[in-house]
Amino acid sequence: MKNIVSYKIDNELEELKKELDSYRPLPKETAISLEKHLMLLYNQESNAIEGNSLTLSETKVLLESGITAKGKPFKDHLDIINHQKAIEFLKDLIKEKTPLSKRDILDFHYLLLKGSENEKYAGIFRNVPVFITGSTHKTTPPYLLEKEMEDLLIWHNEALKENLNPVIRSAILHTKFARIHPFIDGNGRTARLLLNTELLKVGYPMAIIKKEDRADYYEALENVGNNEDFSDIVAFIQKEVKETAKFILDVVNQTKHKEDDKEQTTKNRSNDIRKNRQ
């Protein structure tokens, strides 16, 4: 495998992170609004990559009001609802900030598949071979799954101890997991949940991989190859995190300008009142 140290840190992203940190803690209303929007978008896009037909507005209505989209499959609605439960679990893990565990991974998967046609496989490593459609990569055979998942967590804990750049670490974790493909179904969604859990634990913005970027995403995953060169997927994830960071900063700056304008208006009114009293 290519030397981990040699993967390029995105300096623009690190500067965006510093700027974002300078505004923290964000105003409560802004923080709540941002989280709600980004988690909704993430839910819809992560499912859309896997073929889910619900639009962003249909996803919003379903989660807020329980109203289903006319003519859309039951499975698509269930996947969105289950993914939202997985997101709530993600939020719990972010607060706990404990190292990622096998139990966390199995719980994510269980929440994603609960009530689905594959519920009997929820939270359980597969015992049959699987293939990734359109990929030349051979997934881990069933008899090696336990060991490779254990090795993955050992690698991740070592990367944490060595203070590997969080975006690089999270991107490689996500990709190693996806290449192992430990479950019958739900591997992609679980991989992206792991990615964003690790990013958010250390204060980085989410990587919201969109359906429109699916081809580039899959190509970057495929380019890892037998030599395990993660350069392309690391760069792809860095780009996605930067996009979210820029969006958050735009919102924060707009909010700040509004507050500054409000403060200036208040000062002007106070000055006018004083003048009128003289």
Residues listed for the chain: 278
> Is residue 187 part of an annotated ligand binding site?
yes
| pLDDT at position 256 | 76
> Is residue 110 part of an annotated ligand binding site?
no
> Is it true that the peptide bond before 182 is cis, omega within 30 degrees of 0?
no
99: domain CATH number? 1.10.3290.10
> Is residue 186 part of an annotated ligand binding site?
yes
Q: How many domains does the chain have?
A: 1
> Is residue 272 part of an annotated ligand binding site?
no
In whole angstroms, what is the distance from residue 159 CA to residue 141 CA? 25
> Is residue 203 part of an annotated ligand binding site?
no
The domain of 241 spans 30-255
Residue 23, in any domain of the structure? no
Dihedral sign computed on CA atoms, order 184, 191, 101, 149: positive
B/e letters for 22-61, b = 16+ CB within 10 Å, e = fewer, are eeeebeeebeeebeeebbbbbbbbbbbbbebebeeebbbe
| pLDDT at position 213 | 98
Residue 89, in any domain of the structure? yes
Mention every residue, 6+ apart, whose C-beta is less than 8 A from residue 211.
45, 48, 49
B/e letters for 214-243, b = 16+ CB within 10 Å, e = fewer, are eeebbebbeebeeeeebebbbebbbbbbbb
Mention every residue, 6+ apart, whose C-beta is less than 8 A from residue 134.
218
Catalytic residue among 37, 77, 181, 257: 181
Task: Render pLDDT for 75-89 as a digit per residue (tens, 0 to 9).
Answer: 999 999 999 999 999
> Is residue 226 part of an annotated ligand binding site?
yes
Residue 274, in any domain of the structure? no
**10-residue mean pLDDT series, the chain (278 residues):** 73 98 95 98 99 99 98 98 99 96 99 98 97 93 98 97 97 98 98 99 99 98 94 98 98 77 53 60
Q: Read off the tokens for 114.
A: 């609960």
The answer to whether the pTM exceeds 0.85 is yes
In whole angstroms, what is the distance from residue 109 CA to residue 53 CA? 21
In whole angstroms, what is the distance from residue 243 CA to residue 248 CA? 9
Nearest CA-CA partner of 38 in 206, 202, 242, 170: 206
User: Scanning the structure block, which residue is given the tokens 């009001």?
Assistant: 65
In whole angstroms, what is the distance from residue 20 CA to residue 32 CA? 16
Residue 20, in any domain of the structure? no
| pLDDT at position 170 | 99
| pLDDT at position 264 | 47
Per the CB < 8 A criterion, the answer to whether 156 and 169 are in contact is yes
In whole angstroms, what is the distance from residue 187 CA to residue 178 CA? 6
Alpha helices in the chain (DSSP H): 11-22, 28-49, 56-65, 74-96, 102-113, 145-161, 166-180, 187-201, 214-222, 231-277
Residue 16, in any domain of the structure? no
> Is residue 190 part of an annotated ligand binding site?
yes
Q: Read off the tokens for 159.
A: 């990367």
> Is residue 59 part of an annotated ligand binding site?
no
Catalytic residue flag (residue 181): yes
Residue 148, in any domain of the structure? yes
